């Protein structure tokens, strides 16, 4: 699945759109959502609710980076967390800044310019 969040700010989460749906039926299957970063949890809650309607056997989330202190939504099925990180911008290992630095082989805190 692919989601897009747009609009909003700190007090208004904006809107979430479904850009691509599942290619297979999730009913009766064990579903694991792999997330890069979990912040407020608003997008993840939308995704989990959408998946739950499809009646999977189980639903769990794994995230590489977690920022639980930014969480607005508390009841998320996060089963595995790689790292709890500070509120900083990370680059490398697939994370980018303006489409740059994504190819770095490990994570770095982006320090500007």
List residues with catalytic annotation.
39
Distance CA 27, CA 55 (A): 5
77: tokens are: 């099925």
10: tokens are: 């700190």
List, as one string, the DSSP characters of 23-92: SS--TTSEEEEEEEEESSSHHHHHHHHHHHTT--SEEEEEEEEE-GGG-S-----EEEEEEE--SS-EEB
């Amino acid at each position: 699945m692919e989601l897009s969040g747009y609009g909003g700010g700190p007090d208004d989460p904006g809107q979430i759109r479904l850009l691509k749906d599942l290619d297979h039926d999730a009913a009766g299957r064990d579903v694991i959502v792999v997330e890069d970063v979990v912040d407020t949890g608003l997008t993840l809650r939308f995704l989990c609710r959408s998946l739950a309607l499809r009646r999977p056997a189980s639903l769990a989330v794994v995230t590489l980076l977690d920022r639980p202190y930014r969480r607005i939504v508390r009841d998320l099925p996060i089963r595995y967390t790689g790292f709890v990180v500070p509120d900083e911008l990370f680059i490398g290992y697939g994370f980018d800044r303006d489409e740059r630095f994504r190819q770095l082989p490990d994570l770095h805190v982006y320090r500007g310019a």
